[in-house]
Structure 1
Amino acid sequence: MDTANLVKVFRKGWLLIVIGLLLGGGAGLAAAEVATPEYTAAVKLFVAVRTPDAASATDVSQGNAAAQQKVRSYADVVLTESILQPVIDELHLDTTPTALARRVEPTINTNTVVMTIAVTDASAERSARIADEIGTSFIRVIEGLEKPSADATSLVRASTIQSAVVPSAPSSPNKPLHLAVGLALGTLLGFGAALLRSVVDTRVHGPRDVAATTESPILATLGFDGEAKRRPLIVSADPRNPLAEAYRALRTNLQFVDLGAGNGSFVVTSAMPSEGKTTSTANLAIALAETGARVVLIDADLRRPRVAEVMGIENAAGLTDLLIGRAEVHDVVQPWGRTKLDVLPAGLVPPNPSELLGSAAMQALLELLTEQYDHVLLDAPPLLPVTDAAVLATMTSGAVVVTSARSSRTPQLRAALDRLDRVGASVLGVVVSMVAFRGRAGYGGAYGSAYGAYYGGTAAIDITAAAPRRGRRLRDAETAAFPVAPAVPNRSHGDGSA
């Protein structure tokens, strides 16, 4: 895993890491509190090899070297039954030599003939008594082992140079050590949980996840509006709302997108349904019309059309009638509001939407509308379930892809963008919708707090007249040239997005 991915894991999973750190530290302290205190006492012994009284300096040096070699082997002798069993018998200990050996730790100082025997026990006094008794037993056994014969003097002389002292404080548990180990283990577990989450959780949480998925520009970040179902056209219903300002920021950013090869028309789509594309398209169309531009909004979702429902207009006839030659543009296009915004609803749902949208009639219609309007917006079906949006994107300047921070997943977004790339369509940018901000101030992105402070609690004035102007009377849909099923409104999420 490279540094960028590690940083991403830390950024997304910092809370899990902190929780692991706290839990690990708490567990370490708890373990130290419940552990039985143990005390350690130590006795020090001096071991020497006997030399003749008239020994030369060389003899003394050789005897000292021999003593050092012997002391290294005596560390194993201390833990044998021949030394520990007499201790158990003398002190009446309820244990065995093997069990007692696990509580005894002999230590040899390098290049010396001094041996330290440490004993750990739950009783401070008993640890000192055991250590002294082991020292006494060691001296007796070693001097007996080093006798050439029963009547001879031992070649090794051992003596106690420091008796064991009753410890005043326990040697364990070591609270700082327990805390350090707990913190380390907790951090590792927290990072492991964060790493697992980054692998398993592929949801789009915000713009950073989108930026890590694609190099396409992020055109806008739109906050979640719990009242979107009741008032989806926030730009018109509450023009001073920070979310309405976010749509205007989207309008501004689109003006900087390279449309040199295009004609002012583009598709708005998403990877999957219910990601907010219809709501975003409708508000963007209103925001574009606010500038005085001539805008037409086309409901090109001939499977689950929702533009007419969102805009509050009739859907008896529309795009379907144009494509089969049953109507002219001026018959089905309906003016909306007091701006130069026209809406072309989908009409009745046909049995062959893919064929109609990919037909020469659709291409001719787009060419006609781009001559009459400054901006042509197509609300298209999602990219992954059907191919309609990808086909339409090749007929226009490109596609704006809406992805929801509440339900979208990065593999789906990546697959949708790949589908556009495979058909040679241009991706103008990505809009991140339904982002959970803390309060209204977050809707405006980096400048959200400024918007909230500036607009405050002043009442919004609807200057665009949310109610659409009544268009010309349309012909009865029952005279359609082919049998179609009635349009079924899309059942949207609680925010009213499609």
Structure 2
Amino acid sequence: MEFSDYIRVLRRSWVLLLVAALVGTGAAGLYAFRQTPLYTSDTTVVLTLNASGSINDALTGQSYIQSVVTTYADVADQPLVLTPVRKTLGLTDTMTNDQLAKEMTITASNTSQLIGISVEDPSPKRAARIADTVAAQLAKSVDDISPAKKGAAPVKLSVSSPAEVAKTPSTPNIPLMLAIGFVGGLALALIITILRNVLDTRIRRPEDAHAVTDRPVLGGIARSSAVRKNPLVVRSDPNGRLAEEFRTLRTNLQFLDVDRSTRTMVISSSTEGEGKTTTAVNLALAMADAGSDVLIIDADLRRPRLADVLRIDGGVGLTDVLIDRVRLDDALQSWGDGHVTVLPAGAIPPNPSELLQSEAMEQLLERLQGRFSTIVLDAPPLLPVSDAAILSHRASGTIMVCAAKHTTKGQLADAVDKVQRVGGRVLGVVLTKLPVTGADASSYVKYEYTPRKPVGRKGAKKSSSLKAREV
């Protein structure tokens, strides 16, 4: 994935990222709200020599202090110190030595003369009192356990900085927890988004189709709810976006295969529901508008839809001609202004593949190629059945219709391979149902240039308009 792909993924999933970040922040806030606030008070005890002497004695005493400072620190959370502290503060009935020790953090280093005592308690005042009392009791306990020299302990402990009552709780750190929740939720959503994009093999853009096949993307058709109501957009809205997209497809096909005077094109797709019939009909209408004599054949003998889309009688058609039930001219139906001729599917046969593969079908196509400049065959999907592959072998080429966010790369690759294995030619890919807006909006459907409606001048007189026409 390139950097632009990551940006597109983020744009596509911005709602998920935002919701995840807000949920993470809310969960962290709820967790922080349910925590009991704790206040921290700190005090420091300094170890000094109890008597003065020569410089050598001072240096020896300094080394002695550094050697015992960690030992004295270990005494601070022992019953020797904690039991008297509990009695002094009246905590004998409410707190055990272990519970009191858990509230304390003792720090010391054998390179210094300081012992740090930190107490964390729900009550700020009690935290300060415990810290000061522990410091005082530690000094007293050290005097009791230190080896005396001439009646005095060699080391003296004194409080260098008494504990202060905390004004704000040390935990929970609400701003920090909210930040962690926000970043955590965002990171989790980002990982899910990237993984989902990596595992999603659906074709969304022309670049995805190019990664599957070397055949060109002939055009793109935008997603529109109006197509369901009236698929004939080239006729119903000739100046609209969709009509222009089909005309662009027509132009690309003309330049793709300029050496062939007769074109027999199979319109198929990988699976159903990708818009192949709509594409076939509107492409045929666009070619007819350019002056071509177009024949469109409903070669989907399993689920024919062409007659319903064009609103014609589909009772007699291709199957009847192939079995010599009716004459070809009796089955052909002129549609519109006369440049479009339709051959419906007719009755649904029990053996569609055999009929399409028959010699009668081959002879029929040869006859029709002599009468029409362009033949468009609306064929079944390639992957479920072999009908379209059979037709592709006898046609000038096959156009693969691929619905964005519907067809997977594997399905498109298998469909293209199925055509090529029978000796067919894939002209290219047409992407349908492309999003017009959003991160996946394609350049094929991103822009629109429709004619402006004529607007008369306000206050213009009818007589002046008549005079202008007369001139």
Deviation at residue 148 of structure 1 after TM alignment: 5.5
Counterparts in 2 of 1:67 and 1:398: CA distance versus 1, 3 Å: farther
Counterparts in 2 of 1:448 and 1:172: CA distance versus 1, 3 Å: same
Counterparts in 2 of 1:108 and 1:5: CA distance versus 1, 3 Å: farther
Q: State the aligned residue count.
A: 451
Instruction: Describe the SS at the equivalent of 1:228.
Output: helix
Which residue is equivalent to 2:69? Answer: 71
Contact 1:245-1:444 at 8 Å conserved across structures: no
Instruction: Describe the SS at the equivalent of 1:450.
Output: coil
Encode CA deviations 1:242-296: one digit per residue, 9 max, x unaligned. 2222222222233344676996222111222232211221011101111112221
Which residue is equivalent to 2:99? Answer: 99
Counterparts in 2 of 1:184 and 1:444: CA distance versus 1, 3 Å: closer
1:374 and 2:353 matched: no
**Counterpart code for 1:136:** A
Counterparts in 2 of 1:155 and 1:196: CA distance versus 1, 3 Å: same
Which residue is equivalent to 1:128? Answer: 128
Contact 2:250-2:287 at 8 Å conserved across structures: yes
Counterparts in 2 of 1:134 and 1:274: CA distance versus 1, 3 Å: same
Instruction: Describe the SS at the equivalent of 1:154.
Output: coil
Encode CA deviations 1:188-235: one digit per residue, 9 max, x unaligned. 331344356447766656656656665554333323443434422111
Which residue is equivalent to 2:461? Answer: none
Contact 2:70-2:110 at 8 Å conserved across structures: no
Contact 1:12-1:198 at 8 Å conserved across structures: no
Q: Aligned equivalents of 1:421 and 1:136: distance in 2? A: 92
1:219 and 2:210 matched: no
Paired residues for 1:8-23 under 5 Å: 10=10, 12-23=12-23
Contact 1:242-1:444 at 8 Å conserved across structures: no
Encode CA deviations 1:450-482: one digit per residue, 9 max, x unaligned. 33xx45699xxxxxxxxxxxxxxxxxxxxxxxx
Contact 2:288-2:339 at 8 Å conserved across structures: yes
Contact 1:119-1:128 at 8 Å conserved across structures: yes
Contact 2:85-2:133 at 8 Å conserved across structures: yes
Q: Aligned equivalents of 2:425 and 2:145: distance in 1? A: 93
TM-score normalized with structure 1 length: 0.79
Encode CA deviations 1:163-191: one digit per residue, 9 max, x unaligned. 11112222222122112210122013313
Which residue is equivalent to 1:420? Answer: 419
Which residue is equivalent to 2:469? Answer: none
Paired residues for 1:162-201 under 5 Å: 162-195=161-194, 197-198=196-197
Which residue is equivalent to 2:141? Answer: 141
Counterparts in 2 of 1:457 and 1:137: CA distance versus 1, 3 Å: farther
Which residue is equivalent to 1:43? Answer: 43
Counterparts in 2 of 1:56 and 1:227: CA distance versus 1, 3 Å: closer
Contact 1:12-1:194 at 8 Å conserved across structures: no
**Counterpart code for 1:96:** T
Deviation at residue 119 of structure 1 after TM alignment: 0.7
Counterparts in 2 of 1:183 and 1:153: CA distance versus 1, 3 Å: same
Contact 1:295-1:340 at 8 Å conserved across structures: yes
Which residue is equivalent to 1:86? Answer: 84
Instruction: Describe the SS at the equivalent of 1:313.
Output: coil
Q: Aligned equivalents of 2:4 and 2:319: distance in 1? A: 49
Encode CA deviations 1:353-407: one digit per residue, 9 max, x unaligned. 1011122332333344334433221100111221111221222233222233475
Contact 1:223-1:433 at 8 Å conserved across structures: yes
Counterparts in 2 of 1:422 and 1:20: CA distance versus 1, 3 Å: farther
Q: Aligned equivalents of 1:190 and 1:272: distance in 2? A: 32
Which residue is equivalent to 2:59? Answer: 61
Q: Aligned equivalents of 2:260 and 2:143: distance in 1? A: 102
Counterparts in 2 of 1:56 and 1:443: CA distance versus 1, 3 Å: closer
Counterparts in 2 of 1:447 and 1:2: CA distance versus 1, 3 Å: closer
What is the identity percentage for the equivalent residue pairs of Structure 1 and Structure 2?
38
Q: Aligned equivalents of 1:279 and 1:49: distance in 2? A: 98
Instruction: Describe the SS at the equivalent of 1:286.
Output: helix
Which residue is equivalent to 2:32? Answer: 32
Which residue is equivalent to 2:158? Answer: 159
Which residue is equivalent to 1:467? Answer: none
Counterparts in 2 of 1:111 and 1:269: CA distance versus 1, 3 Å: same
Contact 1:242-1:443 at 8 Å conserved across structures: no
Encode CA deviations 1:105-164: one digit per residue, 9 max, x unaligned. 122367321121111111211111010011112112223222269x85323321111111
Q: Aligned equivalents of 2:436 and 2:156: distance in 1? A: 81
Point out where structure 1 has 5 or more consecutive residues left out of the alignment: 459-498
Which residue is equivalent to 2:468? Answer: none
Q: Aligned equivalents of 2:393 and 2:182: distance in 1? A: 56
Paired residues for 1:304-383 under 5 Å: 304-383=303-382
Q: Aligned equivalents of 1:152 and 1:64: distance in 2? A: 20
Q: Aligned equivalents of 1:338 and 1:371: distance in 2? A: 21
Point out where structure 2 has 5 or more consecutive residues left out of the alignment: 456-471
Deviation at residue 300 of structure 1 after TM alignment: 0.7
Counterparts in 2 of 1:404 and 1:446: CA distance versus 1, 3 Å: closer
Contact 2:265-2:399 at 8 Å conserved across structures: yes
Contact 1:132-1:163 at 8 Å conserved across structures: yes
**Counterpart code for 2:17:** I
Q: Aligned equivalents of 1:142 and 1:305: distance in 2? A: 99
Instruction: Describe the SS at the equivalent of 1:254.
Output: helix
Q: Aligned equivalents of 1:316 and 1:278: distance in 2? A: 18
Counterparts in 2 of 1:252 and 1:26: CA distance versus 1, 3 Å: farther
Paired residues for 1:249-260 under 5 Å: 249-257=248-256
Counterparts in 2 of 1:107 and 1:254: CA distance versus 1, 3 Å: farther
Contact 2:67-2:110 at 8 Å conserved across structures: no
Q: Aligned equivalents of 2:283 and 2:454: distance in 1? A: 24
Contact 2:298-2:378 at 8 Å conserved across structures: yes
Counterparts in 2 of 1:15 and 1:411: CA distance versus 1, 3 Å: farther
Which residue is equivalent to 2:462? Answer: none
Contact 1:246-1:443 at 8 Å conserved across structures: no
Counterparts in 2 of 1:336 and 1:436: CA distance versus 1, 3 Å: same
Which residue is equivalent to 1:475? Answer: none
Contact 1:49-1:66 at 8 Å conserved across structures: no
Contact 2:296-2:376 at 8 Å conserved across structures: yes
**Counterpart code for 2:111:** N
Q: Aligned equivalents of 1:394 and 1:2: distance in 2? A: 38
